[in-house]
Amino acid sequence: MDFENLKYKNIREVSKLIDAEQICPEELTYFYLEKISHDPKAKDVFTKVLRQSALASAKESKKRTSAGLRKGVLDGIPISVKDLADIKGHLTRGGSFLTSTKKAKENALFIDKLQSQGVILLGKTHMTELAFSGLGLNPTTATPPNPFNEKLVSGGSSSGSAVSVSRNYCLASIGSDTGGSVRIPAAWNNLVGLKTTHGVIDLTGVLKLCPSFDTLGPICKTVEDAHLVFGAMSDGNFQKLRRLEPKNFKFLIIKNMFFEDIDSEIKDSFNMEIEKITRSGATIEYKKLSEIDKVFEISKTVFPAEAYGIWQQEIEENPDKMFVPIRERFRSGREILARDYIFSLHKLFDLRTSFLQKVIGFDAILAPTSSIKPPCITRLLDDHEFFTERNLLALRNTRIANSLNLCALTLPTETDFSGLMLMGRPNSEIELMSIGLSIEKLN
């Protein structure tokens, strides 16, 4: 078996080969570990390679396979995990020098769930500093290289997670998404990324940024991969995706804000995808919704207020240990009064209700995942104002789903770095991925 060719296969395909004993989980894991150890770029992707435990898990998976006792489709599948999840006996650094130097005493709850399904954890991946940027630049620890153009960032904050999949170091990865941190790196690595509804996946043992908005989700090659990993991370109840006819879909495109200051290639790519969807027989409507602009304004209060509230002590004790634009983004929450934060949060809850009432009857909302392509690393390092402007623009489209507590899915398009984002009602991940699966097959 030429394991390099697995970059063209999804989890289901590899799992079938394991079932047929055409792929050995131990040999597969060893292949990925050797690839990581011999590639000098991997040091900027992985914070920690879990070689010993990964090989031990793979050996057990091999035994189960030989005995016909595989735990399920994910048994023997190697993945990576963003370095904000606790793994027993290892540090959780969160892309920062401000975090605890104490090793985790227990696994994050979702890690235990994945391992109970036989998933093999290859390692922990680099990320944006404390998960508070969508660009993927981290001069403090490491900046994972964009696999298509190493002069560009790879998207954040789950940068290493996305790059580990796109560079074929593993078959899937787990990231977090507070404002777009799964979807942006997925889009900028031509991958699928799922932003889950807040609270669907337990965050016990996960480093916090904004507890009212933090979520976890998979970054994968296909919608089906995302579905399989999501099932294992949540409750292990593998609800099947439905095969839906695109001609029965009714989609909404929101005209205000999502297309402002958009890159011309991103816009062209989005329009091409909409043409395909329209040709499939789906109905598409265009509307302006006042809630979008109001939610965007409120996000300027609630996100930095929560983030600074969580990290204030660590930041102010060692401010020089932070990359300046990230530090100042945190500090933008310093002067926000508690009463303004509480008022804004409750206003946001009201807007969620009115928004959902206005989108009744639509299967999903369509938008470009990010309105820009990944910027140049050198310019981001040299020009902090440019960093701040690009970061906010990169996160603008994705953050709406976090603010409104929608689930969201990004799909790759025919254009590099250009994701098609589908947003669905809260707790409708299976329905949204079923729609995504149908759209994926149009390409």
pTM: 0.97
What CATH code would you report for 246-440? 3.90.1300.10
Q: According to the model, what pLDDT value does residue 339 have?
A: 97
Q: According to the model, what pLDDT value does residue 101 have?
A: 86
- At 146, is the secondary structure helix, strand, or coil? coil
Distance CA 443, CA 440 (A): 6
C-alpha closest to that of 77 among 115, 43, 39, 47:
115
**Shared fold status for 3-233 and 246-440:** yes
Q: According to the model, what pLDDT value does residue 235 have?
A: 73
Q: According to the model, what pLDDT value does residue 237 have?
A: 64
Cis peptide before 157 (omega within 30 of 0): yes
434, 230 Cβ separation under 8 angstroms: no
Distance CA 306, CA 330 (A): 9
Q: According to the model, what pLDDT value does residue 66 have?
A: 97
What length is written for the chain?
A: 443
Structure tokens given for 26 = 């131990």
Q: According to the model, what pLDDT value does residue 106 have?
A: 98
Q: Does the domain at residues 3-233 carry the CATH identifier 2.60.40.10?
A: no
Q: According to the model, what pLDDT value does residue 384 have?
A: 97
Dihedral of alpha carbons 39, 43, 44, 47, sign: positive
DSSP string, 305-347: HHHHHHHHHHHHHSGGGS-HHHHHHHHTTTT--HHHHHHHHHH
Q: According to the model, what pLDDT value does residue 2 have?
A: 85
Write out residues in the chain with pLDDT < 70, as ranges.
236-238
The domain segmentation of the chain, as residue ranges, is 3-233, 246-440
Q: According to the model, what pLDDT value does residue 443 have?
A: 81
What number of other Cβ atoms are within 10 A of residue 111's Cβ? 22
Q: According to the model, what pLDDT value does residue 100 have?
A: 82
Q: For the sheet containing 407-412, what is the strand order?
A: 46-49, 120-125, 78-82, 172-176, 216-220, 192-195, 407-412, 419-424, 364-368, 250-254, 283-287
